[in-house]
Structure 1
Amino acid sequence: MIIITGASRGIGQFLLKSFVDQTNEEVIGFYMNTKPKDHDEKYVQIDITDLSQVESFINDRENVLKDITLINCAGITYNSFTHKSEPEQWRKVIDTNLIGTYNIIRSLLPIMRTQKFGRIINFSSVVAVKPTPGISSYAASKAALWGLSKSLAIENAALNITVNCINLGYSELGMIEMVPEEFKNNIISQVPAGILCPPEDILRTVNYLRTTQYITGSSIDLNGGLT
């Protein structure tokens, strides 16, 4: 079974569609507000920042949750210089990107440990190491996923549960859609590969981590040589 958070748009939606089309596995996508029309039967509305909602979902389906791959794509950003930022907006990014990811992992780990199988893939970002002004909350949340993933990997490695991060650079999907064209061209010019990350490379990397037992606690840089 494949569970994808943040599956209503961008990378999460692309991965859900790809797995539905290419595998025979059960696929479930979490969304927050607008339910996508394509493969709508695969979507469940859950606020991952609300632990009770996450636990309710798990409890209702515990008997069918088997051989789980959890792909954490849910993420929001907030653009503001820190000294001008609104604390509640800043905190909301941490709540979604970090606490929400913790909530779903925490709720699924007991099942994975009992079954002695699990694959957890967290989407971090190049901005965790590449200084970028105006997104301190986003950078902090993505850097925190590294530490979370490494600790979880050690705690669960003996039970055939792997936990890894994909440190994504600038891709053709996701938040790049909010960037004005002139700034987008500037971003691409900084990438040694000279292009934005193709969605297919994201899928290949996810599948690599899903099918490789001996990689855990790692962070794969998928950024075209940017770092």
Structure 2
Amino acid sequence: MIIITGASKGIGKFLYESYKSQGFDVIGTYHSSKVEGLYKLDISNKLEVEQFVESIKDKLSNVVLISCSGTSYSSFAHKSDIDLWESVVDVNLKGTFNIIRNLLPYMRQDGFGRIINFSSVVAQMGVHGTSAYAASKSALWGMTKAIAIENATKNITINNINLGYFEIGMGLDMPADYKKIIMEKIPTKSFGNPEDIIKTINYIKDTSYLNGANIDLNGAII
């Protein structure tokens, strides 16, 4: 069973539709952009997450969790709205932990689990106005290491993909002038192909000895 949070748009939608078309059992969630067939879920709300996992518990076998839910807020730190800043951490970090925490007991009982989180090149580069987003994404690295160690004997792995810029999601919404600046920083002079994200996910889920790792998928921008 593949569970994809944030499956209504961007990378999550692409992954959901790709795995469905390949015949996998896939459960997807959405928060604000309603899509028929997806579960409505605010991953930052621990009660909603508990109820969601309870509602699908009979389907939970050989679970692969792909956490695509995310949000961003751009502001220089000294000008930032603290409530909006915190909301990014609530979704990107706390929300990611909420869904992992509630699925782990089933994975441990099953003796199998694959957890794949998306961090970002933004957390590695230092980009103006991204303190909330960068903080939430870099925090996944430490969380992943701890959870990997706690569950390694149960055939459960957890890894991060540090995404660069792709022709999907935020990459498509980027202003043309800024996109040109970013493109010049990428040695390939191109944004990534979304198919490479699927290839990387498949490598992670099929490789049991890969655990607690961070994989940079960024075209060598760093």
For this structure pair, what is the TM-score category when the shorter chain's length is used for normalisation?
over 0.9
- Where structure 2 has 5 or more consecutive residues not aligned to the other structure, the ranges are none
Alignment partner, residue 175 of structure 2: 180
1:178 deviation in Å?
A: 2.8
Calculate the TM-score normalised by the size of structure 1: 0.96
Alignment partner, residue 11 of structure 1: 11
2:184 paired with 1:189: yes
Paired letter, 2:20: V
SS of alignment partner, residue 4 of structure 2: strand
Alignment partner, residue 76 of structure 1: 71
Alignment partner, residue 35 of structure 1: 34
Q: Indicate the RMSD between aligned Cα atoms, in angstroms.
A: 0.8
- Where structure 1 has 5 or more consecutive residues not aligned to the other structure, the ranges are none
Alignment partner, residue 200 of structure 1: 195
1:89-136 CA distance string (max 9 Å, x none): 000000000000000000000000000100000000011111111010
- CA distance in structure 2 between the partners assigned to 1:61 and 1:169 by the alignment: 33
Alignment partner, residue 160 of structure 1: 155
Residue of structure 1 aligned with 2:138, choices 137, 143, 168: 143
Paired letter, 1:18: S
SS of alignment partner, residue 39 of structure 2: strand
Alignment partner, residue 25 of structure 1: 24
Paired letter, 1:5: T
Paired letter, 1:21: S
- CA distance in structure 2 between the partners assigned to 1:193 and 1:115 by the alignment: 42
Alignment partner, residue 128 of structure 2: 133
- CA distance in structure 1 between the partners assigned to 2:136 and 2:33 by the alignment: 24
Paired letter, 2:30: Y
- CA distance in structure 1 between the partners assigned to 2:59 and 2:217 by the alignment: 33
Paired letter, 2:15: L
- CA distance in structure 2 between the partners assigned to 1:135 and 1:60 by the alignment: 36
1:154 deviation in Å?
A: 0.6
Alignment partner, residue 219 of structure 2: 224
1:145 deviation in Å?
A: 0.5
Alignment partner, residue 116 of structure 1: 111
1:27-74 CA distance string (max 9 Å, x none): 0111001223xxx32x10011111111111111221221110000111
Paired letter, 2:29: F
- CA distance in structure 1 between the partners assigned to 2:51 and 2:74 by the alignment: 33
Alignment partner, residue 214 of structure 1: 209
Paired letter, 1:124: S
Of 178-187 and 154-163, more deviation after overlay is shown by 178-187
- CA distance in structure 1 between the partners assigned to 2:139 and 2:87 by the alignment: 15
Q: Runs in 1 of length 4+ with deviation above 3 angstroms?
A: none
- CA distance in structure 2 between the partners assigned to 1:12 and 1:62 by the alignment: 22
- CA distance in structure 2 between the partners assigned to 1:50 and 1:4 by the alignment: 17
- CA distance in structure 2 between the partners assigned to 1:170 and 1:34 by the alignment: 23
SS of alignment partner, residue 129 of structure 1: helix
Q: Aligned residues, how many? A: 222
Paired letter, 2:26: V
Alignment partner, residue 48 of structure 1: 43
Paired letter, 2:14: F
